[in-house]
Structures are given as structure tokens and as C-alpha cells.
Amino acid sequence: MKIAVTAENDNGLQSKLNPHFGRSPYFAFVDTETKEVELVKNNAARAAGGAGVSAAQLISDRGAKVLISGSVGPKAYSALSSGNIEMYISKDNTVGEAVDSLQEGSLSQLSSPNGTPRK
Amino acid sequence: MKLTVLSGKGGTGKTTVSVNMALSLSKIQLLDADVEEPNCKYFIGTDFDKEEKIYRKVPKVDQEKCTACRKCVDFCEYNALAMMIDEVLVFPEICHSCGGCKRICPVNAINEVDRELGNLKHGVNKYGIDFWQGELNIGEESSVPVIEELKEKTNPNKNVIIDAQPGTTCPTIEAAADSDYCILVTEPTPFGLSDLKLASELMDELKIPHGVIINRAEEDSDYIIEDFCEERNINILLKIPFIRDFAHLYSNGIPFVIDYPTWKDEFKKVFKEIRGVLDEKDNGN
């Protein structure tokens, strides 16, 4: 299964977890079977508007089924839900720790948006 | 004559200046173009006799016809469309109504439907000012179409005062763009100065003659604004002092010229000065 995690920098599983979804500088895509990790730059991070929607599109296009972040805004939540992508909230420090937490079952699943859109 | 009152920084006193100036002059029309939070009404009265809804076009996707080719999603510059599991999602709040998705769709699966964006209201107020305000609906992001419609209400036979949105982005530019003159309201603080610089650069870009009103003026700190204006050769039209009674009146929704009628003369002087600047400009041409 492919998991997307919002990341502040491009440093594999050691990348720092970014607390916001839409404008996260990077997304880490982690394959839970092979443990392979790929970091993708978020081109929407500096978009004037619609960053959350654009980021959700990227997550879906890359085939991730689960997203881990600190917060997800209303439009991104709606788009990700439509894409059947599960969202989990983590306060871990790194991408690797967040993935471990998910597998241990210690992350809570998001059932409504918990972030606010930024202009 | 069309005057727009604007400021880089929010909360400097655009509405204070707009309303008090409107009450000091005759043959005035006041337009509240701060459509994200129109507040002139709290000072001149909230009775409205006319209301018009404003609509804009947003896409509606016919999922039966849609082949999930994704051309519309890739085309949208504003990320208002997304493709999730072969279905196009529309986020109308961020759509800019450009109509591009409808044109680019190869199978005509996109229609445009009306979405209510906001409204215009005309006020009958106790002071007899011809007053229109624009208001953007909650959750909507683009205020420009509301301001465009509001400006259609401009009465060419009156002196029009437009209370603009703070900042130096599209809504402020839309309000100010075809004005004869702009009043930049600021306060003598570093924040006030920083945003005044931006507002004044915007004026230079738009080539609109402009002057400054310092609100909450205090002798000890006015130099912050005065030095800048002197350096840039910008006229300071008026200083409104930082006094408790003005703030108290404001908090009760009373324009201060009502309690201090001699201030009407100050605003008349400002108006005369602006008229002089514009006449000189016309003669120069």
C-alpha cells in the first residue's frame, strides 16, 4: 500500500513531517511493503488559491490510498474523500515515525476537515 | 468626480474618512466597496430599500457525457477542478468564472450555471446620502465581480466616494482603477508606513493622483508618515487626531462630524484641495 505523508524537506524517511496539507513543500510517498520512499515537490505550495485541491489531485494521481498530515482543510478533505483516500492525523516528528505510528494503529483517522484554508 | 478611499493596511480609518467626508459635502454618492466586510452602514444606517443579487457562472459537469479525459482539470489555472476516480469535482468557491473548462471540453459535458456571489443594497439613511454597498457571500473568494457591479451604480452627476477594501490586490485595484483621485488613509506607525508605501506604489502604477490622510495622528509620531510623504512629494491632506472622544463615537456608530460639525469644514477644505489638484492637472493637459 502506498502512503502519502506531508514533508517539510526532501530527506527520505527522516524528512520532517509538515503540519499542513495543501501548502506542504513536499509529499513523501512510502510503499509499506517495499519500504521505498519517494519525495515529490508540491507545486501548489505557492499557488494563489486551490492549493488543497491541487495537492489532493497529486496524492490521488500517485495512487496513494492513505494520507498522513497534521491538518487537512475543507476543500482538500472533500477531494480526498471523493478519491477514497483515508486521512490520518499525526504529530510525529518525521515521515518515518508517522508511518510507524500508522502501522502500530496509534493515529486517529480524520472524519471531518480540521484545517483552515489560507489565501 | 470619483474619489476612492483606500489604505494598504486594514483598520486605519477608510470608513471613518469615507463616511465623515460624505456627511460633510453635498451631492454625494457613497459606495461601500469593501465587500468582504462592508461597514459604512453601521455609521449611516442599515435601512435598505433595494437589493439586487449578483451571480456568476460556474461549471457543472454532466457525468453521463464526461469521458474523464481530464482536459478541463489540467486547464484550470485556479485548481477549481479535480479528477477523483474518473469523476470531475467542481470547487465553485475558487472558480474564477473564466469559462475555459467549458470551451476545452471535447464532448460538451460542461455547462455553466449561475452561482450567487453576493448582493448590492441601496440604503435610505437618516442623513440622506445616496448609498450603495456591495456584499460578498460568506465562503466566496473573488470579490472583484461584486465591485464591478457596484461601480455600475455610479451616478455621474454626483461626487462619488468609494470606500475600498484594504490592501493592494485585485479588489482594491478594481475599486480605484478609474477614479479621478485616491485618498490613502494611514496611521503613524511602522505598519502604517510599510503599507502606505505599497499603496502609494500602486497609485504610481495606476497613475492616479493621490494624497494622504493621517488618522490617529499624534505629534510625537506623525514624522513616521510625514518624512515619507515629503521624500515622495505626496500631499498630506488632513490629520485626524488620536483622541478618545472620536474613538468613543466610533464605537457607538456615530460619525464624528455629527458631534463635531466644525470638522465638516476640514473635509470641505480637503475636497476643495483635491478639486484644485485635478483642475490643475486638466489645465496642464
For residue range A16-46, list pLDDT tens digits in order. Answer: 999 999 999 999 999 999 989 999 999 988 8
Are both B143 and B180 inside the same structural domain? Answer: yes
Name the domain boundary from B116, B138, B155: B116
B65 falls within a domain: yes
Instruction: For residues A47 and A75, give the distance between their C-alpha atoms in angstroms, rounded to a whole number.
Output: 15
Contacts of A56 in chain B (CB under 8 A): 82, 84
Alpha-carbon separation of residue A85 from A56, A62, B91 (angstroms): 9, 12, 18
Residue B102 has, within 13 A of its CA and on its CB side, a CA count of 13
Give yes or no for B120 touching A (CB within 8 A): no
Task: Provide the residue type at B23 as one letter.
Answer: L
DSSP one-letter code for A12: G
Best B36, B91, B93, B96 member to test A by mutation, with max A CBs in 10 Å, is: B91
Q: Helix or strand or coil: residue B215? A: strand
**CB-based contact A49 B85, cutoff 8 Å:** no
Identify the CATH number of the domain in which residue B112 sits. 3.30.70.20
What domains lie within chain A, and their CATH numbers? Answer: 2-117 (3.30.420.130)
Are both B194 and B276 inside the same structural domain? Answer: yes
CA distance B175 to chain A (A): 20
Are both B241 and B264 inside the same structural domain? Answer: yes
Name the domain boundary from B116, B142, B163: B116
Are B224 and B188 in contact by the 8 Å Cβ rule? The answer is yes
Instruction: For residues A78 and A47, give the distance between their C-alpha atoms in angstroms, rounded to a whole number.
Output: 19
Domain, as residue range, for B144: 2-45+125-282
| ipTM greater than 0.85 | yes
Splitting chain B (285 residues) into consecutive groups of 10 residues, what average pLDDT does each group show?
A: 94 96 95 96 91 95 96 95 95 91 97 96 88 94 92 96 95 95 97 96 96 97 97 97 96 96 98 94 75
Instruction: For residues B171 and B136, give the distance between their C-alpha atoms in angstroms, rounded to a whole number.
Output: 11
Gyration radius (Cα) of chain A, Å: 12
Domain total of chain B = 2
CA distance A39 to chain B (A): 22
